[in-house]
Structure formats: C-alpha cells, structure tokens
Amino acid sequence: MSSIVALRNFFLRVGFRIIRPLIFLMEPEQAHSSLKRVGVFLGNNFFLRKFTGLLFNYDHPSLNTTVNGINYRNPIGLSAGFDKDGELTKIYPHLGFGLAELGSFTGEICPGNPGKRLFRMKKSKSIVVWYGLNNEGSEKISQRLSGEEFGNLRVGINAALTNLTPEFILEDAIADYLKTMKLFKDIGDYYDVNISCPNTQEGEPFVDKQNLNALLTAINKEIRPISEKPIYVKLAADMTIDEINIIVDACVEHKMDGVVCTNLAKPQYNTEHIPEEYPTVDGRLPEGKGAMSGLPLQRISTNVIRHVYRRTRGKLTIIGVGGIFSAKDAYEKITSGASLCHMITAMIFDGPQSMSEINRGLVKLLKADGFNSISEAVGSRNPLPKERTDKLQKPRAA
C-alpha cells in the first residue's frame, strides 16, 4: 500500500512541477484566490471530495496524536493566513491535513493593506506577505461556520487585532480579540491568539509585558468560563531571547496551553534569504514592509521551538511552523519540542501532495528511531537540562 502511495505522490509531484510555471504566471494574490476557488468547488461536491482524497489522502495509526485532550489523526496542519475567511474546511481532510487553522479573524471587517500584497521569492523558496490581516470579520465568518461539521479535521481559530487604525488603545485592542473569541466559542477545537502579525499599523504591541499581561488576564476572565478549548499564543520570529522569555513566561504564568512558533520573518533581521529577491529592492513593495515565509524562516523557527521547549521544560504545547517542506523538516520541529506542525509555503512551491508526503515520511522516521507515536518523539533531540534547585548548600559547621 505504502509503495502505491509513494508512486502516486511521485506522479503528483512531477505533474505539479509541470503546471507550476503556469500557476506562477498569475499574480500571487490572483493565484491564491483562484486556488481557493478550486478548493471551495472541490469541497462542495461529495464525489469530488472522495476523488481528491484518492489523490492526496494518507492515514497511518502511528500519526494519531492527542494534544491538550484533542485527538488529531495526523500532526500536519494548514497554517493561518491561507484561508482567511474560513471557506475551505470541507476539502482539507481530503488533502491529507489533520488540522487547519482558519483566519486570522479580526473583531471588525478588515480590508487589509492597500496595493500589491503578495510576492514570490523563487530562489529563496519564500512568499513575501503584506496582506495586513484582510478578512470578512468575525461576525460574518462565525455565522457562516456556525453548526458546520468538520469531521476528522481539527480546526484552529486564529484571532488577531483589527488592522484599521495606527492608534493603539489597549482596552479596545483587548475587546477586539475577545469579540472574536466569544463569537467562535462553539466553533473549532482550539484558539490561537495572534499577537505577532508583522504587517499591521500598530506593530506588535503585545510583545510589551504589561499589555500582554492585560490581554491574557482578560482572556482568562472572559473566555475560560465559556470555552474549554485550548488557547495558544502565536509568537513572532524576530524576537530577542529576552522578548521570547517575557512572552513564554507570561503564557506559563497565565496558564495558556501553548504557543505557535513562529509567524513570518522580517527581512531586516534575516540573513537566510537572497536579499536581491526581496520586493522592496526593486520598488514593488515600499521600504520596510512585508515579511517572509518558507525557507528563510525554517532555521529561525526551529531555534525558537528549541529555546521555548527548554525554557518551559515542556510545560507549554508547541505548534511548530516555518519552512516545513519535507518530513525531515517536520520531524526536526517535532524532535525539538513541537507536538503539531503547520505549513503553507510547501503547498505553493511543491504542490498539494506535500502533506501526504510529509506524513508518510514521518511514519518512516518514527519507525527508524524506534518510536510508536508522535508524542514519543516530541522533544527527543532537545533533552531538557537538569532542573536547578538554586538552593545554596548550607556550609557545614566546622
């Protein structure tokens, strides 16, 4: 069976390589909308869903994993930002995803940034994003998704701050997050609080300790009593160790369930891409704007995962995201401490068979290391340092 799937994936990969230049002839945002329309079309028909499953699905018992009480059929998920209005949930399980994070959804309708907002960096295997959280707003989207059955797909609700004004008012910002989280209280399986979008007018105000404490306190007061869903917080890629520590320590202190590592990387802090490819260089994007997905993020996000896992001694669940193109990449994030993975860019550059290739490869990697499940592999190559008591030994009386 496994060799049939391998052969199928080989032909799909070759097929995608042939049609990719045609897809890349389209403007990236136009390609994104067209592919979403195809996904909605396939998802709306029973036979097309089954046919898609024959082409792309893959299951194996060792991929089954339970995280914060939620059972996932496999640990590979779609990351936030591909399905900003939550329109494609019917097709994801047939494409091989175990989970899909929808959004980011914001409290108010958000048109996003003006102008050209998506760019490909082919040599760097990266997408430059300058969307600015465009979405239809949490009221409309939650109404549409209310009562929808997601079957064996687990769904994350990514809540972000509406990007409409350059002015930051803490109380309004908190109310915006809470509005989305309340509207989605009965939809999906977990929340992801996105405090790290690099493309908004206000920057990242919740990297500030006091602001973050206020947000997490409000979430605990207003969301915990109405929803049992695990709550994760999405971290930025470009933080200093001190900034990461402030956020993860606050997450532990406020009993958040975990963190998502990481969001997009800003080019000014990054040496992992080919600078000449960045769209500000030839004026396609204004200076200082946009941030990168894919390969330039791969090592950075894995390093953040490694640090967070050690810092929190595994107390926070980690969802690993950034530059996962192969099973090896996903396994590196898992063995560094991630319990689940997200991805987008691999689908764009390598095709929609990537999820099944990654899942199939994970089964082999687990077996090679003698593990029976994903949870056994989590953090296995990132051993925790011995706990320090920090107690001074009393000097013995002479």
Binding footprint of ligand FMN on the chain (CB under 6 A): 79-81, 84, 104, 118, 127, 129, 131, 133, 158, 194, 197, 234, 263-264, 293-294, 297, 321-324, 343-345
- Nearer residue to ligand FMN within complex by CB, 11 or 318: 318
- Nearer residue to ligand FMN within complex by CB, 322 or 352: 322
C-alpha closest to that of 261 among 207, 303, 311:
303
- Nearer residue to ligand FMN within complex by CB, 16 or 371: 16
- Nearer residue to ligand FMN within complex by CB, 118 or 244: 118
Minimum distance of ligand FMN from residue 321's CB (angstroms): 5
Written as six digits, the tokens of 220 are 């605990």
Q: Do the beta carbons of residue 360 and residue 56 sit within 8 Å?
A: no
Question: In sequence order, which residues have a C-beta less than 8 Å from that of residue 144 and are 6 or more positions away?
Answer: 86
Minimum distance of ligand FMN from residue 141's CB (angstroms): 13
Written as six digits, the tokens of 53 are 């499953």
Q: What single DSSP character describes residue 87?
A: -
Minimum distance of ligand FMN from residue 211's CB (angstroms): 18
- Nearer residue to ligand FMN within complex by CB, 4 or 293: 293
Minimum distance of ligand FMN from residue 297's CB (angstroms): 5
Residue nearest to ligand FMN (CB): 81
For 45-80, give the DSSP string: -HHHHHHHHHHH----GGG-EEETTEEESSSEEEPT
Minimum distance of ligand FMN from residue 387's CB (angstroms): 32
* Preceding peptide of 104 cis, ω within 30°: yes
Alpha carbons 54 and 68: distance in angstroms, whole number: 31
Minimum distance of ligand FMN from residue 215's CB (angstroms): 16
- Nearer residue to ligand FMN within complex by CB, 321 or 378: 321
Cα angle 310, 329, 361; round to 5:
120
